[in-house]
A and B are shown apart, each in its own frame.
Chain A
Amino acid sequence: MTEAKKTTIVLFSGDYDKAMAAYIIANGAAAYDHEVTIFHTFWGLNALRKPEKQSVAKGKLEAMFAKIMPRGAERMGLSNMNFLGLGPKLIKKVMKKHNAVPLPELIDMAREQDVRLIGCTMTMDLLGLDEKELRDDIEYAGVAAYLGEASEGNVNLFI
């Protein structure tokens, strides 16, 4: 076969529904035998957070950020009709009915298909997120690594 095609996705959003779209495309692209990379920046980093509290020494501001932001994909809100947290509960119910895969499982599925998950280190610093708070199976990089991949990308998305 010819050289594998590449798909890159920048996940900027920390919304459950947008992240779901990103991960469905990532899984689909992996099924297309693309080399897939998802760069998580800003609020998108929350999708990579471990659900359990991690003990990390932080400044006051960073500790506040960590507290306000959702700890992991399961706790993320919707971009629309969030209704103070009721929206995600409703949509998860509907998803179950339609046999759609919940976001945390989509992320695991992506890893099983060798999709590379990357945390943007600059925004990790801004939001005060430590490597210990994020999944263990991810990589870390900056804009140059993203551009390196994206300039060879056949599909490049910003979500």
Chain B
Amino acid sequence: MEPNTTIDAKGLACPQPILKTKKAIKDMESGEVLELHATDKGAQSDVTAWAKAGGHELLDHTEDNGVYTFWIQKG
């Protein structure tokens, strides 16, 4: 998946990954895809809930060695 924007939130604690995501999404166009990297264990639930509430689509997410990657399409 080719993202339009990539955010590195690895090593950052709550609430920073969500704040960074929100900031990035704000500047994107509807339909564009954001790739987010995070290591906060709460990020999986956080990103899922936040995307749903904001009308964005969580296209996919993976976990590799403690690094979570999310692809979010702006709604």
Contacts and interface: CB of A to CB of B under 8 A. Distances in A.
B1 interface: no
A101 B12 CA distance: 9
Contacts of B19: 27, 31, 109, 113
B14 A24 contact: yes
A35 B38 CA distance: 26
Contacts, number: 31
SS class of chain B's interface: helix, strand, loop or mixed?
helix
Interface in A30-46: 31-33
Interface residues of B, number: 14
Interface in A105-119: 109, 113
Interface string A2-38: 0000000000000000000000100110011100000
Contacts of B55: 1
B43 to A, nearest CB: 12
Interface string A61-102: 000000000000000000000000000000000010011110
B14 A99 contact: no
Contacts of A28: 14-15, 18
B53 A101 contact: no
Contact of B50 (A1, A31, A95, A113): A31
A33 B51 CA distance: 12
Contact of A31 (B11, B12, B18): B18
Given A100-B13, A113-B19, 15 more contacts: A24-B14, A24-B15, A28-B14, A31-B15, A31-B19, A31-B21, A31-B22, A32-B50, A32-B54, A95-B13, A98-B13, A99-B12, A101-B13, A101-B16, A109-B19
27 contacts: A1-B55, A24-B14, A24-B15, A27-B15, A27-B19, A28-B14, A28-B15, A28-B18, A31-B15, A31-B18, A31-B19, A31-B22, A31-B50, A32-B50, A32-B53, A33-B54, A95-B13, A98-B13, A99-B11, A99-B12, A99-B13, A99-B16, A100-B13, A100-B14, A101-B13, A109-B19, A113-B19
| Minimum-distance CB pairs A-B, first 10 | A31-B22, A100-B13, A28-B15, A31-B18, A27-B15, A99-B13, A99-B11, A99-B12, A31-B19, A98-B13
